[in-house]
Structure 1
Amino acid sequence: MRTKLFQFKALLAILLVAALLPWNQANAASEKPAFDPFEKSIDEIANALDTNQITSEELVEYYLKRIEAFDKQGPAINSIITVNDKALETAKKLDAERKTKGPRSKLHGIPFVVKDNFDVVGMPTTAGSVALKNDYPSKNAFTVQKLIDAGAIVIAKTNMSELAASYGRLGYSSMGGLTLNPYNLNRDASGSSSGSAAAVAANFAVFGLGTDTSGSVRGPANVTGLVGIRPTLGLTSRSGVVPSALSFDVTGPLARSVEDAGIVLSVMAGTDKNDKATQTAHHYVRDYAKSLDASSLKHARIGVATDFFGDNAEVDAIAKQAIAKMQSMGAVAVPVSYSSQTKYLWTPILGPVGDAEFKTQFEKYLGMLPAGGPKTLQEVIDISESPEVANSATPVNPGRLEGLKTALEKADTLNSKEYKKIVHKEIPNTRKEIMDIMKKNKLDAIVFPTMSCPASNRFDKEDPTYVCTAYDTYAASYVASATGFPEVTVPAGTVEAGVPVGISFFGPAYSEQKLLSLAYSFEQATKARTVPKNTPELP
């Protein structure tokens, strides 16, 4: 009898523990710190992952929900071309790895977006062209691989101006349609890295990758309230990236803060045996974020590039206010002016070099892809002009199509006297001019509004509030492109239409650390970045 009573009591105790277990688990779950990734920095997210406030799997789910809520519905920002269907699986593996081995780096388990001209295994590289929709690369782009090796997760590939050139339709492609500016849906997100910029601004990922030939990282960052870095030509690899013109092409990060952009640049930069331009890069790579100095402007001498003012009163006012703020912090501002040619480098340098280089370099890239897709520029043009594409909802931009035909015709100019003169004389002369200005005035950097006008009207919709008297609002960007020198854009303010405006810090080759510190000093003093109202925090 006693044995049965003992057994009954033991069973009762087991049932009581079992009954309490779900309550204890629920109670424990309720005590778990709630971490909201919205607008958080890399450091904040890395710390949350380290302290088990969130998992990488939960982080990926969070950004996928935001993409679902805002990218193709709601405001329909339309920044994403392809979502990585392996992102969650990768996140789970990285969570398990963190438990057994610890994090690989600060980026371990952190999602990022990639402009769709970077190769990512398992996802097509379309560069925005429907002609390349079935081109699946066999290996990752060098910079993508470096970030993956550091534990970062590609969550999606982003829309862009088709084959990295806008021709009046900024952020539009036959593959992805038009990307909108999350700050004002009547305005564009510039080009050609529009998708990456809009996605990071809208909190679809922690940071993004873009490419910059003539302003394609800086312009989009400028109009979406981000920090964008065009690194020194040769600091970051271009292998595994669809080329536009390798005399000017660079890869660079887009992020919501200078510190985040610096962290990403430190990881992605370096020597790549498949990109000769980077052969000495390893000598220059720094831990950029670690050395940021908020007091950098205190003793700085900055040149103010006066040639790039006068096209929009609001932009001028924000830029002048920014310079006045730098002066109040201790910086000395020195007005500087460029030669008549350097004021507008598209016609004498960027345009003709781009036309000469594109076909040869593009076809070399296509030749490295697995069989099945187009291998020549002519094939891409033929597909782009086919009735199927021409009559689709997103036909190729007619201006872009004409640009491809021009590149086809001018490919033979790669060995011309004009091309050689530009590469061997005009580009070095432009570099010398900038260095002479900096040396003569003892400058730490040259500053100017990144673009001389705010984000422009989307090509398919008029916005009468847009005012711009510029012949080319991107003219200031061409100086860094032609010289191969670095430029950092950082938010400086917002115009009445609600779109952000940035200011640029520009300097000699491999001066990234100094430029980032100056930008950081300005950023910390002004806190000018705002959050886009069209993609708010989810409830």
Structure 2
Amino acid sequence: MTLSPADQLALTAHEAVDAVHAGRLKALDYMTTLLARAEACAALNAFTTLEADYALAAAARIDAMPSHDKAALPLAGLPIAVKANINVERMQTCAGTPALARHIARTTAPSVAKLMAAGAIVLGKTNMHELAVGITSTNLSPHAQPVRNPYDLTKIPGGSSGGTAAAIAARIVPAGLGTDTGGSTRIPAALTGIVGLRPSVGNGGAERRYHDAHAVVPISHTRDTVGPMGRTVADVALLDRVITGAAALQQVPLHTLRIGLPRPCWQALDSTLEAVAHAALDRLAAAGVTFVELEMSDLLPLSERISLAVAFHETHEDIPAWLVANDAPVRTLEALAAQIASPDVRRIYEGVLVDAFGADYHDAMRIGRPALQQLYGSTFEAQRLDALLFPTTPLPAVTIDEIEGSSMVAIGGREPIDEMAAYLRHTDPASVAGLPGLSVAAGLTSAGLPVGLELDGPLGSDRRLLAIGIAFEAVLGHPAAPMQASSSPATQATA
């Protein structure tokens, strides 16, 4: 039975691979359909480059394989999107910034290489917040342009992995890779109605789940990680299993779960988002989940005291090393910063250039970060928790600021606060501590904007967290597909 283009666009990653293996779908037909979808959705600005010739040739090679060889590939013919700060050999690694616009990678990040070896095909490199230093993906470089949310093209998709999220939500690809330092897979996942995983990082070394050092344009070697994104938790788990070689997931009965609700992450929420999040809680509780309310009053203040010191002191050190190691067109932090196009990123790099957080870094790493890790560890142990749960972001997607790239936002009539700080409020603490986090879709607001719920787990509990996510997803379902992904911004704004 031949699948129509509409049927192909609706496929999840699992379904697409199964169809290719069963001979119901030609990889070349599927790639052709998705490339046409990408062109139709060009107004999203989801991609920096489409690798059409490469992708079509790779798909044709999959189709030409003997059946037994194809069956041995767990991702045979699966098109994926890869964020523009992740190396793929012979493809552009621009990180959304002018100084790297013509930079072609000489290596492939290990996470990408494992997906490709399993049969995945990179359809293109995705747009992002410039240098990953932001959460809107409003990239004001002439080489990139702002990424738009498929649910409302006047709104942000979240960031910094907004291009990957927009491409997945708009049915251009079923899955892909982003990166996450403070929330950059989970925030865009939440704002576009998809799933995003931040894998365990811990203190590095064996605790780090994905090993892509020197193959990703960095912010912070302590906090950065590649992370898979998809329309379902099962699809994200599939990519994670291929990258890590992990065992298959074990089914999790909902009635066995004890899930903590940290009070600081359930306060000061947008009212429309809050309604969706609490309705999801009610459905999960009715399905048997036990929820435990937690004070955790030190969680946000402790994270805020050390977050920037860790991230931006390491930017000052890590960017020059990456530029040299990757034979980039510019070799110094100053040369890179001189060409930054987005005003919000320029302001941050003013502090990075003078190492404004250098004096605080060692105390943050020796005292503050271990204290935050201890807070998480003691809470999980004392309360016998499987995970924490809270809204991934305190508000849904807001209108794109095409002048500054990021602005101020007011939540529930309160005093306006910095947009980046607002969206990072819930995702940043686990990132600082090196813990895994998973954002799953909770539903749509009354205005039709997606809302995400985040599960944070103990260090190394990634597969357990994914299994819990699958169980939650079975209760909460998936949001309806965006209807206007190929509309122009002007048309959508007046619709």
Distance 1:80 1:383 in 2: 21
What SS does structure 2 have at the residue aligned with 1:473? helix
1:523 paired with 2:473, answer yes
Given that 1:310 and 1:316 are in contact with CA atoms closer than 8 Å, whether structure 2 keeps it comes out as: no
Task: Sort the Cα spacing of 1:310 and 1:122 in 2 relative to 1 into closer, same or farther, 3 A.
Answer: same
Given that 2:302 and 2:368 are in contact with CA atoms closer than 8 Å, whether structure 1 keeps it comes out as: no
What SS does structure 2 have at the residue aligned with 1:209? strand
Distance 1:467 1:366 in 2: 39
Distance 1:219 1:312 in 2: 15
Given that 2:176 and 2:228 are in contact with CA atoms closer than 8 Å, whether structure 1 keeps it comes out as: yes
1:190 paired with 2:130, answer no
Query: Which of these residues, 222, 245, 249, is aligned with residue 291 of structure 1?
Result: 249
Q: CA deviation at 1:34?
A: 4.6
Corresponding residue for 2:450? 500
Q: Aligned ranges for residues 39-438 of structure 1 at < 5 Å?
A: 39-71=10-42, 76-84=43-51, 85-99=53-67, 101-166=69-134, 170-174=137-141, 175-233=143-201, 234-239=208-213, 240-269=215-244, 286-287=246-247, 290-293=248-251, 295-308=252-265, 309-340=267-298, 342-345=299-302, 347-370=304-327, 373-384=329-340, 396-410=341-355, 414=358, 416=359, 418-438=360-380
Render the CA deviation track for 1:108-141: whole Å, top value 9, x for unaligned.
1110000000011121100000110111111111
Distance 1:177 1:344 in 2: 34
Distance 1:203 1:142 in 2: 26
Given that 2:41 and 2:486 are in contact with CA atoms closer than 8 Å, whether structure 1 keeps it comes out as: no
Distance 1:96 1:117 in 2: 32
Residue identity matched to 2:44: I
Q: CA deviation at 1:47?
A: 2.0
What SS does structure 2 have at the residue aligned with 1:180? coil
TM-score with structure 1 setting the length: 0.82
Residue identity matched to 2:87: D
Distance 1:522 1:123 in 2: 37
Given that 1:42 and 1:106 are in contact with CA atoms closer than 8 Å, whether structure 2 keeps it comes out as: no
Corresponding residue for 1:393? none
4+ aligned runs moved over 6 Å, structure 1:
none
Corresponding residue for 1:460? 402
Distance 1:460 1:398 in 2: 10
Corresponding residue for 1:390? none
Distance 1:228 1:296 in 2: 22
Render the CA deviation track for 1:239-262: whole Å, top value 9, x for unaligned.
211111111111111100010000
Unpaired runs of 5+ residues, structure 2, are 202-207, 488-495
Task: Sort the Cα spacing of 1:498 and 1:466 in 2 relative to 1 into closer, same or farther, 3 A.
Answer: farther
Given that 2:303 and 2:429 are in contact with CA atoms closer than 8 Å, whether structure 1 keeps it comes out as: no
Task: Sort the Cα spacing of 1:146 and 1:446 in 2 relative to 1 into closer, same or farther, 3 A.
Answer: same
Task: Sort the Cα spacing of 1:466 and 1:530 in 2 relative to 1 into closer, same or farther, 3 A.
Answer: farther
Given that 1:344 and 1:478 are in contact with CA atoms closer than 8 Å, whether structure 2 keeps it comes out as: no
Render the CA deviation track for 1:474-499: whole Å, top value 9, x for unaligned.
21101111110011110001112211
Corresponding residue for 2:426? 476
* Seq. identity, %: 29
Q: CA deviation at 1:292?
A: 4.6
1:442 paired with 2:387, answer no
What SS does structure 2 have at the residue aligned with 1:456? coil
Render the CA deviation track for 1:75-134: whole Å, top value 9, x for unaligned.
x11111101131111111122124473334221111000000001112110000011011
Given that 2:92 and 2:125 are in contact with CA atoms closer than 8 Å, whether structure 1 keeps it comes out as: no
Q: CA deviation at 1:447?
A: 0.4
Given that 1:60 and 1:111 are in contact with CA atoms closer than 8 Å, whether structure 2 keeps it comes out as: yes
What SS does structure 2 have at the residue aligned with 1:242? coil
What SS does structure 2 have at the residue aligned with 1:187? coil
Bigger relative CO (Cα 8 Å, ≥ 6 apart): 2
Unpaired runs of 5+ residues, structure 1, are 1-30, 270-284, 385-395
Q: How many residues align structurally?
A: 467
Corresponding residue for 2:461? 511
What SS does structure 2 have at the residue aligned with 1:379? helix
Distance 1:123 1:221 in 2: 25
Q: CA deviation at 1:514?
A: 1.9
Q: CA deviation at 1:266?
A: 1.1
Task: Sort the Cα spacing of 1:402 and 1:438 in 2 relative to 1 into closer, same or farther, 3 A.
Answer: same
Distance 2:486 2:25 in 1: 21
Distance 2:165 2:462 in 1: 20
Residue identity matched to 1:47: D
Given that 1:172 and 1:178 are in contact with CA atoms closer than 8 Å, whether structure 2 keeps it comes out as: yes
Residue identity matched to 1:193: S
Given that 2:186 and 2:439 are in contact with CA atoms closer than 8 Å, whether structure 1 keeps it comes out as: yes
TM-score with structure 2 setting the length: 0.90
What SS does structure 2 have at the residue aligned with 1:186? coil
Task: Sort the Cα spacing of 1:382 and 1:104 in 2 relative to 1 into closer, same or farther, 3 A.
Answer: same
Given that 1:194 and 1:220 are in contact with CA atoms closer than 8 Å, whether structure 2 keeps it comes out as: yes
Residue identity matched to 2:226: T
Distance 1:345 1:495 in 2: 31
Given that 1:356 and 1:419 are in contact with CA atoms closer than 8 Å, whether structure 2 keeps it comes out as: yes
Task: Sort the Cα spacing of 1:498 and 1:345 in 2 relative to 1 into closer, same or farther, 3 A.
Answer: farther
Distance 2:181 2:376 in 1: 19
Residue identity matched to 1:441: Q
Given that 1:116 and 1:160 are in contact with CA atoms closer than 8 Å, whether structure 2 keeps it comes out as: yes
Distance 2:160 2:46 in 1: 12
Distance 1:435 1:345 in 2: 15
Given that 2:21 and 2:76 are in contact with CA atoms closer than 8 Å, whether structure 1 keeps it comes out as: no
Query: Highest CA radius of gyration, 1 or 2?
Result: 1
Task: Sort the Cα spacing of 1:512 and 1:261 in 2 relative to 1 into closer, same or farther, 3 A.
Answer: same
Given that 1:116 and 1:127 are in contact with CA atoms closer than 8 Å, whether structure 2 keeps it comes out as: yes
Distance 2:26 2:81 in 1: 19
